[in-house]
């Protein structure tokens, strides 16, 4: 999938655990885990906003577009 979630990187930089982040962002640990492990299909702006607020970062620090290798070859 071209969209990569770098939440674990930001969490490590800010030294915050999954439990703490889930509590501050007000989403379940299960949902946060889905997001962290790149299994999410979509993210609400409100959730992204809260995550950026808690981690004090930009959206580009959390989500990143990575071109597929197949697209590069064509």
Partner 1 sequence: MLKIPRHVSIILTQIFTGVIFILLLLGAVFLPKIIETYFSEVHSIPCLIIFYCVIAVAFAVLVILHLLLTNIRINEIFIDNNVRYLRLISWGCVLECLIFLVLAQYFLISYLLAFACLFLSLIIRVVKNIIEEATEIKNEHDFTI
Say whether residue 18 binds partner 1 (CB under 8 A). no
Rule CB under 8 A: choose which of 32, 54, 55, 62 binds partner 1: 32
d(CA 62, CA 11): 10
Asked if 23 contacts 51 with a C-beta cutoff of 8 angstroms, the reply is: no
Which CB atom, from 15 or from 44, has the smaller least distance to partner 1? 44
Say whether residue 42 binds partner 1 (CB under 8 A). yes
Which CB atom, from 17 or from 38, has the smaller least distance to partner 1? 38
Say whether residue 47 binds partner 1 (CB under 8 A). yes
Asked if 61 contacts 12 with a C-beta cutoff of 8 angstroms, the reply is: no
């Amino acid at each position: 999938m071209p969209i990569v979630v770098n939440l674990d990187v930001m969490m490590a930089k800010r030294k915050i655990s999954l439990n703490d982040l889930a509590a501050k962002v007000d989403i379940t640990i299960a949902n946060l885990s889905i997001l962290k492990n790149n299994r999410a299909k979509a993210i609400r702006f409100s959730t992204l906003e809260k995550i950026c607020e808690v981690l004090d970062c930009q959206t580009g620090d959390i989500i990143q577009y990575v071109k597929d290798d197949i697209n590069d070859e064509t």
